[in-house]
Every structure is written in structure tokens, then in C-alpha cells.
Amino acid sequence: MKPTHLLGVIPFIGILGGIFFANRVTPYVLGMPFILFWLVMWVVLISATMAVVYRLDPANRKDHTS
């Protein structure tokens, strides 16, 4: 499996697998219940992770010709 594929699996595990560990209301983080903060955090992290995957993918290089 390519490292870029593994980077794509991390958000899946974080948002779906981690939700069972983060399933509580307290503490409040930035005024949000912890579970809501967990989901919002992973939405931001997914965007960052997918940007890294896009940069690492050789098909997106400028010098790539089809």
C-alpha cells in the first residue's frame, strides 16, 4: 500500500473510530461540547491531510505528461 493511501485512512479512523472515545459532552472546548469539537477538528484535519495527499501524488506534478 502506498504511503498516500495510508494518509487517506487516518481521517477515516479518526472521525469514525475515534468518535467512540470522544463521546462525551464535557469538557467544553472553544465553547463547544467535546464531541462537536472532535468532529470539527477532524473536518479541518481531513482538509489538511487531503492537501498533503494531493501534493504527494505524482499524477499532480506539473511536469507530468499523459
Residue-level pLDDT, tens digit, the chain, 66 residues: 677 778 888 888 888 888 888 888 888 999 999 889 999 999 999 999 888 888 887 777 777 555
Distances (CA, A) of 48 to 22, 36, 64: 21, 19, 23
How far is Cα of residue 25 from the mean position of the Cα atoms in its chain?
Answer: 22
Range of the domain at 23: 3-56
pLDDT of residue 8: 84
Secondary structure (3-state) at 53 = helix
Secondary structure (3-state) at 28 = strand
pTM: 0.73
Domain assignment present for residue 14? The answer is: yes
Domain assignment present for residue 19? The answer is: yes
pLDDT of residue 41: 92
Beta bridge partners, 32, equal: 29
Structural domain count of the chain: 1
